[in-house]
Amino acid sequence: MTAPCGIRPDLPAWTVESTTHVLDDRWISVRADSCRTSEGVEIAPFYVLEYADWVQIVALDDHDHIVLVEQYRHGLGITSLELPTGGMEPEDIDLLDTARRELIEETGFEANGWRHIATLAPNPANQNNRCHIVLATGARPCTVPNEDPTERIRLCRVPVDEAVRLARSGAIVQALDVAALALALSEIGRW
């Protein structure tokens, strides 16, 4: 039987009977939980990937372009066209401040207007983090991007309509970037 959709509290959470961290470093923590469902079924180990939250910035300039970056992504072994994105540090309190910092670090751009659009969970099945989508308007170059030997980034500016085409065609492969573009551009009537 199909029930109407909506967030309801009637689906009980699992009980965590024990937890062990099997990997814990500066990039990721992997937690192995021994769980029991409300029906008494044991699920062990259940691995949870613990990542920091991050921000994704949809930065628009005054010429109707979106600021994108190209960078090598080792997981797929490809150069990927993406939104400027960065991890939140434990001391980061304001996600808009984090977005400002990350946009400058990755692209050398600053912006006049900042708006939080949405917060999504990258993979709530086995990740504990969230990504915060931020719309930045009036983006313009202000400095040279930071040189990070672990991230070689090539800056790209594409017209909004072209960014939408790239996202819809699969040329932007990062699923969360496509979601961020769709949500941010829908907010301003451009998707």
Task: Look at residue 128 and tell me if it is in a domain.
Answer: yes
Residues 66 and 136 in one domain: yes
pLDDT at 149: 78
Stated pTM of the model:
0.91
Catalogue the long-range contacts made by 14-22 (C-beta closer than 8 Å, 24 or more residues apart): 14/38, 14/43, 14/46, 17/44, 20/45, 22/47
User: pLDDT at position 180, please?
Assistant: 98
Measured CA distances, 98 to 1, 91, 103 (Å): 45, 10, 9
| Domain assignment of residue 176, yes or no | yes
CA torsion sign for 137, 138, 141, 143 is negative
Q: Which structural domain range is residue 134 located in?
A: 54-187
Is 6 inside any structural domain?
A: no
Looking at the structure of the chain, the number of domains it has is: 2
Cross-strand partners of 23 = 30
Tokens 């997981």 label which residue? 75
Tell whether 4 is covered by a domain: no
Query: What averages of pLDDT result for each successive group of 10 residues across the chain (191 residues)?
Result: 68 95 93 96 98 97 97 95 96 97 96 98 97 98 86 93 97 97 97 91
pLDDT of residue 169: 97
Do 45 and 14 meet the contact criterion of CB atoms below 8 Å apart? Answer: no
pLDDT of residue 77: 95
Spatial neighbors of 126 by CB under 8 A, at least 6 apart, are 46, 47, 48, 49
